[in-house]
Amino acid sequence: MNSSSMTELISRRLGAFGLKCRFIPYGRIAEIREEFERKVADGSIDAEVYSRYLTDMNFNLPADISPVRSVILVAALQPKREILFTVDGHKVSGIIPSTYDHEVDSMVMRIMHEAVSHSPFKFARARLPLKLLATRSGLARYGRNNVAYVDGAGSFCRLMAFYSDIPATDDVWREPQMLDQCIDCNACAKRCPTGAINGDRFQVHAERCLSFFNESAEPIPDWVTPDMHHCLIGCTRCTDCCPANKDTRAWVSTRCEFSREETAVILGAASTTTLTPELELLLKRSNFEEGRELFPRNLRLLVDRPA
Ligand code: B12
């Protein structure tokens, strides 16, 4: 099968599951790398944010794909997941924003594996700045909140990228754009509880973002007040209030429910870095891998949140 039929086949098969994709010529990645490394060097990416999240964004190529010819960027629109807990006879809702849900990754990989299975082509997961790739390749535009809005789907899209030896047949590459709707709208900045989105620069002040604190086992500083917490992990304030997400923000699917006894066991956990085997088993029911050890501390924050 030739490369243009392969890009079409993969796009079509992913598209059948509502997934959008772009094939980006590998040569374009040098520009992303230069921009990313410049921001690290000039300090516009905060040093702590860099060391916590971005050290493995090293642009290393997979050893078994030679030459790498493209990066395949995939966007999956997903619902938020809700986990219900029981406290004092009431249900407490623990929302997990859509992009923490990794289950779709294995579906994407399976679809792509099947597509390339009778061809010499290969692909492998790539750790790259995904919003930059999405916005420069024309798949998305930035909102004022610094999140990527996929055309026609909004921002509740999990992004992922893969290196591949499939040549890209198109080369759409543009300066990152902001949504037209954002020009006269400041809803996200007004709604951001921590002042991470403000007028002094476009790029979010990551080191002030609520997600930066509740994704970490470090103690949450006192200036982050109890009323700010609203998710089991992450934050949905700047995306939920966004007019460009009006059609998708209410999409919530309930994943599982914990009884009063089970909730008490979860709330009783002291550590934010390890789970006891009992808790591990219990929380496995939620199907979440990312940040699961933080759920007890973060659930406590939701339970103690002022009404
Ligand atoms: C580190 C990280 C974080 C950190 C730091 C965020 C950051 N901006 O760096 C923290 C913990 C704070 C965070 C928070 C969130 N994150 Co996060 N995060 C990442 C991660 C791992 C890397 C992001 C990155 O590249 N940062 C580097 C900065 C420099 O790049 P950038 O943010 O794109 O900034 C560019 C723009 O500002 C642009 N720019 C500058 N000036 C201007 C001016 C104009 C006019 C324009 C148009 C552009 C522009 O230039 C910058 C690049 O040079 C990605 C996954 C990945 N591998 O990409 C997920 C990711 C970006 N996160 C995601 C999400 C959803 C969130 C949260 C909503 C949390 C949540 N899920 O509840 C919040 C949103 C915060 C916000 N408003 O931006 C999703 C975004 C999906 C999407 N559709 O956009 C990603 C892609 C995860 C995924 N796999 O889907 N995140």
Residue 307: per-residue pLDDT:
85
Distance from residue 27's CA to the centre of ligand 1 (Å): 23
Q: What is the mean pLDDT of the chain?
A: 95
Distance from residue 243's CA to the centre of ligand 1 (Å): 19
How much is the average pLDDT of 154-174? 97
The CB of 142 under 6 Å from ligand 1? The reply is yes
Ligand 1 probe mutation, 31, 59, 130, most atoms within 8 A of CB: 130
Residue 289: per-residue pLDDT:
86
Q: Is the pLDDT of residue 164 over 80?
A: yes
Q: Residue 163 forms beta bridges with which residues?
A: 71, 124
How much is the average pLDDT of 78-85? 96
pTM of the model: 0.96
- The letter for the amino acid at 296 is P
Ligand 1 probe mutation, 36, 53, 174, 235, most atoms within 8 A of CB: 53
Residue 199: per-residue pLDDT:
84
Distance from residue 142's CA to the centre of ligand 1 (Å): 10
Listed in sequence order, the residues at least 6 apart from 161 whose beta carbon sits closer than 8 Å to its beta carbon are 71, 72, 73, 74, 125, 126, 127, 128, 130, 133
How much is the average pLDDT of 160-171? 96
Distance from residue 147's CA to the centre of ligand 1 (Å): 6
Domain range for 170: 3-303
Residue nearest to atom 70 of ligand 1 (CA): 234
In the chain, % of residues over pLDDT 70: 100
**Tally of domains within the chain:** 1
In the chain, % of residues over pLDDT 90: 93
Lowest mean pLDDT among 26-35, 39-48, 80-89: 39-48
Nearest to 158 by CA among 269, 81, 87: 81
